A and B are shown apart, each in its own frame.
Chain A
Amino acid sequence: MADYLPHTDDEVAAMLAFLGLSDVDELFAAVPGALRLAGGLDLADGRPEPDVLAHLDALARGNGAADLVCFAGAGAYDHEVPPVVRALAGRSEFVTAYTPYQPEVAQGVLQAIFEYQTMVARLAGLPIANASLYDGASALVEAVNLGTAASGRQAVWVSAGVHPHWRSCVRTFSHGSGHRIVEIPLTGGVTAWPDDAFSATGVMPEPPGVVVVAYPNYLGCLEDLSAVRRLADAHDATMVVAADPVAAGILRSGGEWGADVVVGEGQAFGTPLSFGGPYLGLFCCAAAQVRRLPGRLVGETLDADGRRAYVTTLRTREQDIRREKATSNVCTNQTLMAVTAAVQLGWLGTAGLAEVATRCARGTRYLREAAFKIAGISPLTGRTPVVRELALRTAVPARTVVDRMAAEGFLAGVALADLVGDDGDGSVDADAAVHGLLVAVTERRTAAEIDGYVLALDKAVRR
């Protein structure tokens, strides 16, 4: 018997007596007898904390991946999370608060979100950032919703260079929204927008209300966003860029390229790999779209004494007020991850963010130059420039490479087949899916680790 209930038996008895009851079961008199669970839940009885912690620790030790040197990315990256960020973001005032419904006692979270919004908006080159969404995929789904509402048209052109899981989410939610999703394939690692590819076959898809591109795309390649802006202009469509926020430290921002909406996965800012969650959905948009913004927005104002204060604002967009006419159903978001990102970006500062991005690019180049000297390795995306991630073509199936490299102490990357399936998709054909390995190098990888990786890779790709 273990729990966190403060009541003594005497207190329970006194409280029941106060209610005129003699037994706790009487508290549930409104529940029809036939429905009540006879004999209780078929779960083991409670166990003391040390036992439970030992059990979970044993499970955790069953995850060999945690012990490998991580060269996997694909939207989840092994970046430095310093002790100071863990300490501040772990403060229980932030951790155990609810949504800031009472701003007078929630200025801590509200101001941290205000600072987060400022940092993320600067990163995206757009004036508005919301208080976070669930993850990169959900941010993209909301961007598509905003984009179709803004353009008034339901067709959405999504580059196949957008992360396969994110594209899957867009398709899933289109079953409810009625959006018509058109996936635009890649050629040589970059999007072949219908101007060139489709017109050759004579089949033009329905003109888009929204155009979505990833920057860099999930294969690591840099897309020409000025072409995407022209395409969006030609169709009077909303331009959505799914941008890597770390690469944004050295790349032109989505806003600079003319994006109407920039979304991203913010895990890289202070949140560990965590088996995929909780992560952080970044969402930014142009000022003209602010009333279509999904989720919460913090604004600055004054209190009754004229002091600066923060509060969630433009609330009439939201589900609890607008109900079925809300811009989104989002309520709970990922505030703690957003606060964490604000702390991490505060720690990095102007120079630190640029340094992390540069170091990722250096490591990626260092690995790339060495890897391409291996006989069984060739580029999967030709000469297209990459920044912080790259796709290798491996002579043996990439899953085999990952398994063999694990024995050498490396998480070699993510096999493309694990993302797109063995048959490939609009981004890669079946052969490239099976032989494609997506490799990410963060600022945490040393030259010695990369050298060791390349040696192991050389062995792993031999038949």
Chain B
Amino acid sequence: MTTKIPPTPPRTTYGTGPRTAPPSAHDGAVQVHAPGGRALSAPLMGRGEEPTIFELSEAGRHSWQLRTTGVPQWNVEELVPEAHRREVPVPLAEVSERDLVGHFTRLSHRQYSVDLGAYPLGSCTMKYNPKVCDAVASLPGLVGVHPGAPTGMVQGWLALLVELEEALCEVTGMSAVTFQPAAGAAGELTGLLLMRAYHDARGEQRRRVVIPDSAHGTNPASVTSAGYEVTTVPSDGRGCVDAAALRRVLDRDVAGMMLTNPNTLGLFEEDIELIAAAVHDVGGLLYYDGANLNAILGVVRPGDMGFDVVHMNLHKTFATPHGGGGPGAGPVAVDEKLVDFLPGPRPVRLGPGLGGSSDGAPASGVTTGAGRYGWTMPPRSIGRVHSWHGNALVLARALSYILVHGGDGLRRVAERAVLNANWLRVRLSSTYDVPFDRPCMHEVVLSASTLKRHHGLRALDVAKRLLEEGFHAPTVYFPLVVEEALMVEPTETESPQTLSALAEAFERIAAEAEEGGADAAHAAPRTTPVRRVDEARAARTLVPTFDARAGEG
């Protein structure tokens, strides 16, 4: 079956060519003098298959080169007792360095990325990742440090972490930070275990944690992992927590409530002070899911809203690259009353009376160090949540991002992120449903409900057609409370020209469906390295390794 790619409708568009007319406030146009901001990438990514590295392998070929050491050449039989000795080497691919480079470079050409184009993936804050942060994460004095080295030899790292802690405390309005959680979900679980330790210390056994029905999936999963039961509170007609329903589920069995603000609908929870008071009234703690922190940098702080525990996603808000799925970093900031429970050891600036000659992991309540900075073990610490000190190089990137922006720059980040999202909301509100059509924060949740009903165009189709247009797709079918949801987060680093091009793509997709039905969209994407992928087959006939391929390999 072949599908004709529909021609681009002849529309007046912005950002695709020279314009001489002044910008008009009516259509949100931005004057451009040259084509720009149009993030078309798919044609560059190529089509066809790339063999696996195992298929490129030829026995006896190699690319490794190791240092000349002069160490005696004992053979493995002299080194490993027979009972423990591997009989055959681990079979890996055998390729030349040239083939290794070709293979992974071709794979990289089959991969979309922020560096390639706009990535309006809601809830993920896929902003541009400044290259200076890469340079920081490559500094030999940071990269080459063993995590178990004594404090006297890691003063730079400790100073860096303390500086970052102070900045994050200021951003969140909190008292102290643990850097150990490696990602947002790890931060959530850490925060919930802090909640548990806090209640335990007060001799209280509480069993439930409240989360809104619009919450990220990690929230309920973390609640279960922390040994609590989930109590879901519905959203009201305005897309915010239903305050009356919340009051009905709150009692002294509630350990706390997890909330993201702005919430996953991109809306600010205007009743946050009431919510905080209601949770605190029953002795619960309020947890801030920092996934959406980008929207409020320098505008309002979780601590000032009444939150007691905050996790941040440094790979979202502070632009550390997401690496195709990680690493992230999910530091947790807490109010004064939770500091004693934090994971440890924590980096600290040593004051008078602190410190000494001993190094390494201090005992509970003890601070050690051999310089201006050391480690401290919170007296009632929940224990470790990471093998070492957290995703340190990610933390270094985040500090450099914060220092370049400064307090003033971080505030502008939030302003432009919210400006971009609202511009898209208004621009697209005549084409797509906007279930909660009022000013949003950093992201806007659209819906393809009407387009689906009238023309068979689903959110998934819109997403796949956008890939053909050279954009990454928005988050689809989330939050769960919106049908055919398209969650769009443009971020602050996309230009008005790119936003125009993105809006045009959205409009073109809708117009196609209105004019000719959704067949073209159902067939999308056609210009990407592969077309729609058979997910059911992947689950039914599980092939998780090359060795599991039937009749091959």
Contacts and interface: CB of A to CB of B under 8 A. Distances in A.
| Range class of the B interface residue count | 35 or more
Interface in A306-328: 307-311, 313-315, 318-326, 328
A272 B492 CA distance: 32
B535 A59 contact: no
B159 A59 contact: yes
Interface string B514-542: 00000000010100111111110111011
A97 B222 contact: no
A72 B146 contact: yes
A178 interface: yes
A113 B97 CA distance: 20
Given A176-B193, A222-B81, A363-B71, A355 B324 contact: no
A343 B406 contact: no
A330 B184 CA distance: 9
A96 B76 contact: no
Contact of A75 (B135, B387, B467): B387
B94 interface: yes
B533 A92 contact: no
A28 B417 CA distance: 12
Interface string A337-379: 1010011011111111111101101110110000000000000
B153 interface: yes
B208 to A, nearest CB: 12
A455 interface: no
Contacts of A308: 49
A36 B379 CA distance: 34
Interface stretch (B22-30, B279-287, B332-340, B443-451): B22-30
A277 B225 contact: no
Interface in B296-328: 296-301, 304-305, 313, 315, 321-328
Interface stretch (B4-12, B245-253, B358-366): B358-366
Interface string B83-109: 111110111111101001101110111
B86 A105 contact: no
Contact of A101 (B121, B152, B193, B495): B121
B221 A323 contact: yes
A46 B406 contact: yes
A297 interface: yes
B408 to A, nearest CB: 5
Contacts of A96: 113-115, 129, 321-322
Given A18-B25, A93-B116, A361-B80, A43 B406 contact: yes
B482 interface: no
A122 interface: yes
Contact of B400 (A53, A129, A335): A53
A446 B69 contact: yes
Nearest to B103: A346
A112 to B, nearest CB: 6
Contact of A349 (B83, B87, B93, B541): B93
Given A1-B408, A44-B406, A272-B143, A92 B530 contact: no
B545 interface: yes
A4 B300 contact: no
A362 B154 contact: no
B300 A36 contact: yes
A24 interface: yes
B494 to A, nearest CB: 7
Contacts of B492: 5
A302 B392 CA distance: 39
Contacts of B391: 134, 277-278
B62 interface: yes
A328 B84 contact: no
B431 interface: no
A252 B110 contact: no
Contacts of B293: none
B387 A99 contact: no
B148 A91 contact: no
B439 to A, nearest CB: 6
A3 B100 CA distance: 37
A331 B184 contact: yes
A171 interface: yes
B358 A12 contact: no
A418 B140 contact: no
B403 interface: yes
A153 interface: no
Contacts of B80: 250-251, 361, 385, 387
A105 B224 contact: no
B35 interface: no
B244 interface: no
Given A46-B409, A137-B384, A172-B384, A103 B182 contact: no
A3 to B, nearest CB: 4
B396 A15 contact: no
Nearest to A323: B220
Interface in A16-70: 16-19, 24, 27-32, 34-37, 40-49, 52-53, 55-68, 70
Contacts of B42: 105
Contacts of A445: 69, 71
B142 A275 contact: yes
Contact of A74 (B148, B439, B543): B148
A402 B152 CA distance: 11
A304 interface: yes
A35 to B, nearest CB: 5
Contacts of A301: 533-535, 537-538, 541, 543
A169 B387 contact: yes
Contact of B408 (A30, A46, A385): A46
A1 B408 CA distance: 7
A15 B54 CA distance: 52
A358 B146 contact: no
Nearest to A59: B156
Interface in A413-452: 414-415, 417-419, 421-422, 443-448, 450
Interface in B421-445: 422-423, 426-427, 438-439, 441
A277 to B, nearest CB: 4
A204 interface: no
Given A45-B407, A328-B225, A106 B324 contact: yes
A351 B94 contact: yes
B257 interface: no
B183 A331 contact: yes
A249 B86 contact: yes
B174 interface: no
Given A55-B403, A97-B113, A443 B538 contact: no
Interface string B122-153: 00101111101011100111111111111011
A4 B493 contact: yes
Which of A16, A251, A318, A350 has the most CB atoms of chain B within a 10 A radius of its CB? A350
A26 to B, nearest CB: 9
A426 B114 CA distance: 48
B323 A94 contact: yes
Nearest to A26: B439
Contacts of B531: 104, 303-305, 307
Contact of A60 (B140, B305, B426): B140
B465 to A, nearest CB: 11
B394 interface: yes
Given A63-B153, A275-B393, A443-B69, A335 B324 contact: yes
B551 interface: no
B186 A118 contact: no
Given A11-B30, A121-B545, A334-B182, A279 B387 contact: yes
Instruction: Give me the 4 closest cross-chain CB pairs, A-B, nearest first.
Output: A276-B388, A418-B360, A60-B141, A336-B323
Given A1-B408, A346-B92, 8 more contacts: A2-B409, A35-B272, A97-B114, A275-B142, A275-B145, A307-B49, A314-B539, A326-B220
23 contacts: A7-B416, A35-B272, A59-B160, A72-B149, A75-B387, A84-B97, A95-B324, A98-B119, A103-B533, A109-B324, A122-B547, A171-B383, A172-B193, A176-B189, A277-B388, A307-B530, A335-B323, A352-B64, A356-B66, A414-B148, A418-B150, A419-B360, A421-B361
